[in-house]
Amino acid sequence: MSNLILILGDQLSHGLSSLQTIDKSHDRILMCEVWDEATYIKHHQKKIALIFSAMRHFAQELKEAGWQVDYIKLDDDGNSGSFKGEVERAINRHKPKNIVITEPAEWRVMEDVKSWPKDFNLTVEILPDDRFIATHHEFEAWAEGRKQLRMEYFYRDMRRKTNLLMNGDEPEGGKWNYDSENRKPAKDDMFMPKPVQFEPDEITQDVLKLVGEKFGNHFGDLEPFWFAVTHEQAKKVLDYFLEAALPSFGDYQDAMLTGQKFLYHSLLSPYINCGLLDPLEVCKRVEAEYKKGRIPLNATEGFIRQIIGWREYVRGIYWLKMPEYVKRNFLEAKRSLPDFYWTGKTDMQCLSEAITQTKEEAYAHHIQRLMVTGNFAMLAGVDPHEVHEWYLAVYADAYEWVELPNTLGMSQFGDGGILGSKPYAASGNYINKMSDYCKNCRFDVKQKIGDEACPFNALYWDFLIRNEDKLKGNPRLGQVYVTWNKMAEEKRVEYLASAAKFLETLK
Ligand code: FAD
Ligand code: DLZ
Ligand code: SF4
């Protein structure tokens, strides 16, 4: 045999670079479910089930297409529990001349792979992952010499590179960004599309049994399990999004509603991130709907920006700044993550909603992640590393390359402003404006201090004052500190005392 090709659980794409280089008759593919990957962080049970089931379906598709595939199940005899162990066993079985792999998306796995040539005395060919739009080199070249790295400018380059929503050199409609039109609160009498759901087939049922037995002590509800697990099913999720949700995606992108877990979001991230959908193809389908006149420009641009802008940009930051990025704690926050992040049991309705649906679905949308769970953790001074580990564990779409910059950078300001220009800190007023959560909350969002007041209100000021030395030079926060300094001394003392009293109750 000449090549052994290792395909990882987030590389489930027929167009994968490693698959383009190999020969069906001489080479062999290895895919393996390994204990180390499922437990280096205690992933949500649904996330493990999604990945194992999608891996098994993909292996079956590859076999049907004529590839020789070794598929190692988690409970197969002799499973060593690690990628390295499984590659070693496959080398002993097949005696390949080379190992081929598309570059792993995470630093941790890449470091492991880099040690293999020496460990196995074989060449290891690491190919670029061309499912991403920007290469590492392109991002590094863009970042080189810039004082500030801002998504907006990088995004414009990606628009030019992909030619999405472009009229020659000009952006469609004359503006690059229509975000200011995407901030409407939702109302509960609006039509909400219900996500497409799939019955578990035999393969998925086997996986659900395995995950229940082996990982039943991990966070999250395993069932009902209705995720797409094949390319065909993931395409149905995309088709339905284009049909039913995309027209309103832009308007209500930032909205939150009690009991409405998905609103007009696409629910595509788990599938894009594990390879069942191709990000550029998804954007082209969205652009085609715009060209047909079915969806407005603000929704089209807003959606495409999330993928060719934010998604590519956070990946660029991750690879530019790792491995030291994960250790950053600019605000020196030290508090432990409150227990209710694992149960949803809190009187704060917004947090209870976001965490409970996370437990049920391994999903919360962007504003819930950023402005509810993320905002609260930052205001309360939770150690950003603990926050990062929580997000990495609980969401079906979480892989460190995308989760870490979003959590540590965007939501916790733990990188001191590499990813975003100011902390996303907000009082209860923002949550009240964008949701109906406050109506059903035991706290009063209008009250600023005291036991009945929304805790976000005092925590907001406490956060700004606690971190004044680090934040007061930020030009985007100048006005906020002016407001604080104009406040009566008595009021300021009450805010800080109210926050301190609340923080004492956090366990
Ligand atoms: P939609 O709202 O429908 O958006 C469309 C697509 O745009 C998504 O499917 C996703 O591919 C992409 N996208 C949107 N925002 C971002 C972003 N900020 N970064 C990267 N891609 C984006 N996204 C992940 O894919 N994995 C994560 O682990 C993850 N962790 C996050 C942690 C925090 C603290 C925050 C604030 C955001 C995080 N995000 C993460 C980004 C975003 O919240 C999710 O991509 C989105 O909620 C996925 O749901 P959706 O597919 O319905 O997205
Ligand atoms: C997330 C995950 C899990 C839970 N299990 C596996 C696995 O058993 N085998 C595998 O190949 N991949 C798994 N993955 C996805 C990997 O963690 C991911 O491919 C790497 O971290 C690189 O991003
Ligand atoms: Fe959240 Fe405060 Fe509103 Fe309650 S009142 S839901 S704690 S923002």
Q: pLDDT at position 269, please?
A: 98
Instruction: Please tell me if the domain spanning 3-127 has the same topology as the one spanning 340-503.
Output: no
Tell me the average pLDDT across 394-412: 98
Residue 116 pLDDT class (50, 70, 90 cuts): very high
Dist. CA 507 → ligand 3 center (Å): 19
Helices (H) and strands (E) in the chain, counts: 25, 7
Atom of ligand 3 nearest to the CA of 456: 2
Per-residue pLDDT of 186-240, as tens digits, reads 776 666 788 899 999 999 999 999 999 999 999 999 999 999 999 999 999 999 9
Average pLDDT over residues 328-355: 98
Instruction: Indicate whether 181 pLDDT > 80.
Output: no
**Angle at which helices 45-64 and 202-215 cross, to 10°:** 140
Residue in 6, 7, 10 to alter for ligand 2 test, most ligand atoms within 8 A of Cβ? 10
Number of the ligand 3 atom closest to the C-alpha atom of 431: 8
Interval 40-67 mean pLDDT: 97
Ligand number with the minimum distance to the CA of 261: 1
Pick from 154, 264, 390, 397 the residue to mutate for probing ligand 1's pocket: most ligand atoms within 8 Å of its CB: 397
Note the pTM of the prediction, 2 decimals: 0.97
User: How many whole angstroms from 20 Cα to the centroid of ligand 2?
Assistant: 21
Judged by its nearest atom, the ligand closest to the C-alpha of residue 410 is: 1
What fold characterizes domain 136-209+229-321? 1.25.40
pLDDT of residue 249: 81
Distance (Å) from CA 104 to ligand 2 centroid: 10
CA dihedral (196, 388, 204, 66) in degrees, to 10, reads 100
Is 182 close to ligand 1, i.e. is its CB under 6 Å away? Answer: no
Asked which of 173-182, 457-466, 482-491 is least confident by mean pLDDT, the reply is 173-182
Enumerate the domain spans of the chain. Answer: 3-127, 136-209+229-321, 340-503
Measured at the CA of 370, the angle between CA 11 and CA 331, to 5 degrees, comes to 105
> pLDDT per residue over 469-485, tens digit each?
999 999 999 999 999 99
Q: Pick the atom of ligand 3 nearest to 372's CA.
A: 1
The protein residue with its alpha carbon nearest to ligand 2, atom 9, reads 33
Assess whether pLDDT exceeds 80 at residue 182. Answer: no
CA of 263 to the centre of ligand 2 (A): 29
pLDDT in tens, 123-147: 999 999 999 999 999 999 999 999 8
- Summary mean pLDDT of the chain: 95
**Residue 310 near ligand 1, beta carbon < 6 Å:** yes
Helix (H, G, I), strand (E, B) or coil at 167: strand
What stretches of 144-260 show up as alpha helix (H) in DSSP? Answer: 151-162, 202-215, 231-240, 246-249
Task: Please say whether the beta carbons of 344 and 359 come within 8 A.
Answer: yes
Q: Which fold has domain 340-503?
A: DNA Cyclobutane Dipyrimidine Photolyase, subunit A; domain 3 (1.10.579)
Ligand 3 centroid–CA 237 distance in Å is 32
> Do the Cβ atoms of 103 and 110 come closer than 8 Å?
yes
Ligand closest to 347 (CA) is 3
Q: Which CATH class is domain 3-127?
A: alpha beta
Q: Are 334 and 502 in contact (CB under 8 A)?
A: no
* Overall average pLDDT of the 89-93 stretch: 97
Note the ligand closest to the C-alpha atom of 39.
Answer: 2
- Across the range 416-425, mean pLDDT stands at 94
pLDDT value at position 379? 98
Q: Worst-scoring range by mean pLDDT, 182-186, 244-248, 362-366, 392-396?
A: 182-186
pLDDT of residue 482: 94
CA of 117 relative to ligand 3 center, distance in Å = 54
Give the amino acid at 284.
K
Region 23-50: mean pLDDT is: 96
Better-scored residue on pLDDT, 180 or 93: 93
Q: Whose CA is nearest to atom 36 of ligand 1?
A: 370
DSSP characters for 386-411?
HHHHHHHHH-TT--HHHHHIIIIIII
Region 150-155 average pLDDT: 95
Question: What percent of the chain shows pLDDT beyond 90?
Answer: 89
Q: Tell me the CA–centroid distance for residue 294 and ligand 2, in Å.
A: 38
For residue 317, pLDDT over 90 is answered with: yes
Instruction: Please give the number of the atom of ligand 2 that sits closest to the Cα of 10.
Output: 19
Q: Which range has the worst mean pLDDT, 178-187, 392-401, 495-504?
A: 178-187
Q: What is the pLDDT of residue 1?
A: 64
Angstrom distances, CA of residue 31 to CA of 4, 90, 278, 487: 10, 10, 20, 62
Antiparallel, parallel or unpaired: β 166-167 and 170-171: antiparallel
Q: Which of 269, 371, 392, 408 to mutate to test the pocket of ligand 1 (most atoms within 8 A of CB)?
A: 269
Atom of ligand 1 nearest to the CA of 273: 25
